[in-house]
Copies of this chain bind each other. A is one copy, B any other.
């Protein structure tokens, strides 16, 4: 890591549920004595924003309050914008690590690709900042973050203690919705193949025009026992290392047989 032995690590914290979500406050509380924590989070909910960035509009930064003694800002853009703007205009350098969450709701399996929480973490990893996204399997605004805070702290401490840290390391951590005492431990996993089967709900507005709401079922196609979904079902915290190289390397040989 870049910091010297005497310096405190700088921990950038963001999320996608906005600065007012209990989950980000829980994350700050869980790690605030592990380094110098600085929060730059969206000023409004940004769930499902994936890796969106703001190209056609300007961005705003505003000072905010989240936990006493912690410097905090809101950003008018997406979770990925928050990371980019935090590095360039708030910190003026790369933080030691970046944490995102704790998300209200699961980000296992294919959710990693739609998730603003995980996209913020992945953006940090693209920028050579080791990162972790945390998600609790409870969508509720009143979700109990006790177990999530406990495990977030354990994993962040391990990340900070790793002397040979890969600067592109990005972890997708999901925590089951059970009491801390019922969690069986932590499992390193791969992303499960499970996805949504979309069925849009059709409605008609007062002017007779149709509109559609995204809905649907979650379909699990993966019978593997090494996946995040399997670990969560068995009562473990799942940890999936995530990468931004999206190349399907296994397809290159086959494609070279095409007549192009």
Interface residues of A (CB under 8 A from B): 45, 47-56, 58-61, 78, 80-81, 84-85, 87-89, 110, 112-114, 119, 122, 126-127, 154-155, 158, 162, 166, 169-171, 185-186, 188, 190-191, 193, 195, 198-200, 202-203, 209-214, 239-249, 251-252, 254-256, 258-260
The distance from the CB of A154 to the nearest CB of chain B, in whole angstroms, is: 6
The distance from the CB of A60 to the nearest CB of chain B, in whole angstroms, is: 6
Can you list 27 A-B pairs with a CB-CB distance of less than 8 A? A45-B56, A47-B55, A48-B53, A48-B55, A50-B50, A50-B51, A53-B214, A59-B200, A59-B211, A59-B213, A60-B212, A80-B114, A84-B198, A88-B198, A89-B212, A110-B244, A112-B246, A122-B246, A126-B195, A158-B259, A166-B251, A169-B248, A169-B251, A241-B247, A241-B251, A243-B247, A243-B248
Q: Using Cβ atoms and an 8 Å threshold, which residues of chain B touch A59?
A: 200, 211-214
* Given pairs A48-B54, A53-B114, A122-B246, 6 additional interface contacts (CB within 8 A): A50-B51, A50-B119, A59-B213, A113-B122, A113-B246, A162-B258
A260 touches B158 (CB 8 A): yes
Q: Binding site of A, secondary structure by majority: helix, strand, loop or mixed?
A: mixed
A258 and B241 CA atoms in complex are apart in Å by 13
- Known contacts A154-B260, A200-B85, A260-B185, A210 near B53 by CB under 8 Å: no
Q: Using Cβ atoms and an 8 Å threshold, which residues of chain B touch A239?
A: 255, 260
A185 and B84 CA atoms in complex are apart in Å by 37
Q: Using Cβ atoms and an 8 Å threshold, which residues of chain B touch A89?
A: 200, 202, 212
CB < 8 Å neighbour of A61 from B80, B88, B212, B242: B212
Residue in chain B with minimal CB distance to A188 = B255
The distance from the CB of A170 to the nearest CB of chain B, in whole angstroms, is: 7
- Known contacts A50-B119, A246-B112, A61 near B198 by CB under 8 Å: no
